[in-house]
Structure 1
Amino acid sequence: MIFPLSYMLFFFTLILGSIISISSPSWFGAWIGLELNMMSFIPLITLKMNSYFSEAALKYFLIQALGSALLIASGFISISSLFFSSFFIFLALLLKLASAPFHFWFPQIMEGLAWPQAFLLSTIQKLAPMILLSYLMINNILVKMTMFSAILSALIGAFGGLNIMYLRKIMAFSSINHLSWMLIAISAGDIFWILYFLIYSLILLSVMSMFHKLQTFTLSNLMQSDQNSIFHATLISLNLLSLSGLPPFTGFIPKWILIQIMVNLNLFLPLFFLLFSTLITLYFYLRIVIPFILLLNPIMNFNMKYKSFTSISPSLMIKTSFNFIGMFLPIYLLLI
C-alpha cells in the first residue's frame, strides 16, 4: 500500500476539502475548503521522518499560507473595489496552481517528494483552484491575464526542463507546461479543460507508477536500475511519448481538440506559443527515451536485466494501457 491505512483519514479530508471549495456558494467557503485540503496534504508529505520531506512540507505550507492570506485580504478589499478583490483572488489562485509567474515553488517542492505525493501535488491539488479560477472568467481583463499567464507557463515549462537530470523536476516543469493548455481552455470559457485534466492525470499516473516501481529519481538511476528490463524500458518510453502529446498516443487527443477550439476562436498567437513550447518539451522527454531505444539493441544492452513478462504487475499494465487508446481512435472514426 502506497499510504498507510492510518493516513487514509488525511486522504479523505484532502478530497473533502476540494469538494467543499468547488461546491461552496461563497469565497469564504472556498477558502475553508482550500485550507482543509492544504492541512490534509502536509501529513501525507511527511510520511517518514526525513529532512527532505520536512523541508518540502514547510515550503508547501508557507506558499499555500501566502495564497490563503491573499484570498482573505481580497474580502476586505471587496468593500471598496470589486475588481481589485477579484484581481487578488485571481493572483492567489495562480499562486496555488503554480502558474507562471508564480511557478518558482513548484519544482523545488516536487524535488523533495516521493512519487505518490508528487502525483497528488500535480493533479488533485490543482483541481479546486482551477475550478475556482473558471468562476472568475466573467471579467474580460482577467481572461486576458489568464491567457498571458498560460503563454508564460508554456514557455517556462518548456525552457525550465532543459538540461535537468532529475526526473521529479522534469515532471514538475512538464506539469507547468500542461497547466498552460488547461488555462487557455479555462480562459476560452470551455468546459473541455476538465477532460484535458482527467486524461493528463491518467497519463501522469502511468508514468509516475513506473518511476515509483523502479524507485528512480535521476536519469542515471533510471538507466542503471536493477529492476529495469526491456519491457519496462518500452513502457516508460511509450508513456512519456503519450505525455508529450505525440500522435497516435492518447495524450495527443486533448491537445488536438483544444487546437481546434483555439483556431475557431482565432487564438492564433497563444496557439503558436503553446505548440512551440510542446516541441521543446518533446525534446526533454526524448532525452529520457533515446537511451532506452539505444539499449534495446542486443549489443548495447549490457545494462538491462532479462526478465520474464510475469514480473509485470497487472495494475501497472492497466494504468499503461490507457496511453494506447488513442491508437484506436482512427478506427473508430472510420466506423462512423
Structure 2
Amino acid sequence: MNPLIFSTIISTLMLGTLLVIISSHWLLTWIGLEMNLFAIIPLIIKSHNPRSIEAATKYFMNQASASMLLMMAILVNFMNSGQWTMTNLENTAASYLAFTALIMKLGMAPFHFWVPETLQGSPLSSGILILTWQKLAPLCILYMISPFINHYLVMITAMMSILIGGWGGLNQTQLRKIMAYSSIAHMGWMTAIIIFNPTMTLLNLIIYIITTLTMFLLLIKTTSTTLLSMSTNWNKFPLLMTLTSMTLLSMGGLPPFSGFIPKWLIIQELIKNNNIILSLTMALAALLNLFFYLRITYSTTLTMFPSTNSTKHSWLLNKTDNLLNLPTLTILSTMLLPLTPILLFMD
C-alpha cells in the first residue's frame, strides 16, 4: 500500500476513535464511528483476494446496520428530550436501540456471527485493529450510557457472549477464528461488570488489548494461521512458542498470569452485589475458553514434531524481525498479577 494512503487511513482511524472518546454530542460521536468504519475497510481488503473482499463486505454491512440503529436511537432521544448530549438517554426505546447498535459493533451475542468470518478473511495485521482499536469507540459509548440501560438485558447479553465465545472456539482449527471467539467472550466479561463498576471494564479492556496484541504479534512473527502450522514451529521458534503458550494461558485467565486479574476482580465485584449465580456461571463458562487455549498450548509446546527439522531457514522469508516491543508486551501480558493490590487501591 502507498505510504501516503496508508498514513491517511491510519490518521482517519485514530481521529475517528478520538472524536468518539472526547465528544459528548451524539452527532459528533456518530461521525467518529463512521470515520472508523470507512478507514478500516481498505485495511481489510489490502490483500486483494475474494476472501478479504467478502470479509470487508460482511464487516461493512454489520457496522452500517448498527450505525443506522444508533442514528435512530439518537433521533428518538432527541425528539423526546430535545437534547443531543450523551448523558441524557432517559427514553427507554432509545436506550434499547443504542444498546443493540453497540453490541452489534462490538460483536457480542446474538450479533456475533460476523466476527469469526471477518477476522478469518482479514490479514493478521488488520485483525489486530479489528479486535483491539475498533472496540474502543463502542465501549466508550457503552461506558457513558451504562446508567440508562436495562441491567437484566446487559446481564443476559453478557452471559450469552461468554457462553458462545467458549462453545464456538472448541471445534476450531483456524487461529484467527479462535481469537475471534476469544474476543466475543472477553466482550461479555467487560459488559457484565459495566453496570456495577465501570472501572473494572477499563481494566479488563487494557489487559485484553495487551494480551491480544501480544498474541497477534507472535502469530505474525511465526506466520501461523492454523493449529497445524503452529505445531510445526517448535523446532524453528522454541522461545517464541514458549511465550505463545504463556500468553494463551494468560488470555484464559489462569493464575498466576495477568489475565487472571480482571476475572478475579470481576467475580469478586459481582459477589459483592449479590450476583452469586451469575458469577459462578461466568467462572464455569471461562473453563471452555481455557480448554481450547490449553489445546493450542499442548499442540505447540508439549508435543514434538515426529522428525527433527534439518533446515535452518523457512521456505517463506519472514520480514517481521524487528518486533522490539514484543518482550515488553509479553511481560505485561503475563506478569502483572503482583500489582493487583495497587489496582484495588486505585479503584
- TM-score (structure 2 length as normaliser): 0.86
**2:147 match: secondary structure:** coil
Larger mean Cα displacement after TM superposition, 40-49 or 319-328? 319-328
Q: Match for 1:302 among 300, 308, 330?
A: 308
Instruction: Determine whether 1:137 maps to 2:146.
Output: yes
Match of 2:69 in 1: 70
Return closer, same or farther for 1:323/1:137 CA change in 2, 3 Å cut-off.
closer
Match of 1:25 in 2: 24
Q: Match for 1:149 among 157, 164, 177?
A: 157
**2:188 match: secondary structure:** helix
Match of 2:8 in 1: 9
Equivalent AA in structure 2 for residue 135 of structure 1? M
Instruction: Determine whether 1:169 maps to 2:168.
Output: no
Shift of 1:21: 1.6
Match of 2:115 in 1: 106
Q: Percent identity?
A: 36
Q: Does the CA-based 8 Å contact 1:211-1:217 persist in structure 2? A: yes
Higher relative helix content? 1
Instruction: Determine whether 1:191 maps to 2:199.
Output: yes
Separation in 1 of the partners of 2:12 and 2:341? 42
Equivalent AA in structure 2 for residue 322 of structure 1? L
Match of 2:86 in 1: none
Shift of 1:180: 0.9
Separation in 2 of the partners of 1:14 and 1:254? 28
Separation in 2 of the partners of 1:72 and 1:51? 31
Shift of 1:263: 1.5
Q: Does the CA-based 8 Å contact 1:119-1:208 persist in structure 2? A: yes
Equivalent AA in structure 2 for residue 155 of structure 1? L
Q: Does the CA-based 8 Å contact 1:154-1:273 persist in structure 2? A: no
* Equivalences for residues 227-242 of structure 1 within 5 A: 228-242=236-250
Larger mean Cα displacement after TM superposition, 69-78 or 312-321? 312-321
- TM-score (structure 1 length as normaliser): 0.89
Give the number of aligned pairs.
326
Separation in 2 of the partners of 1:162 and 1:270? 22
Match of 1:266 in 2: 274
When the two chains are superposed, the root-mean-square deviation of aligned CA atoms in Å is: 2.6
Q: Match for 1:316 among 305, 326, 333?
A: 326
**2:308 match: secondary structure:** helix
* Equivalences for residues 206-245 of structure 1 within 5 A: 206-225=214-233, 228-245=236-253
Separation in 1 of the partners of 2:55 and 2:216? 19
Separation in 2 of the partners of 1:89 and 1:306? 54
Deviations 1:284-305 (A, max 9, x none): 0111111233336xx9563597
Q: Could you list the runs of 5+ residues in structure 2 that have no partner in the other structure? A: 81-89, 314-320
Shift of 1:67: 0.5
Q: Could you list the runs of 5+ residues in structure 1 that have no partner in the other structure? A: none
Shift of 1:131: 1.4
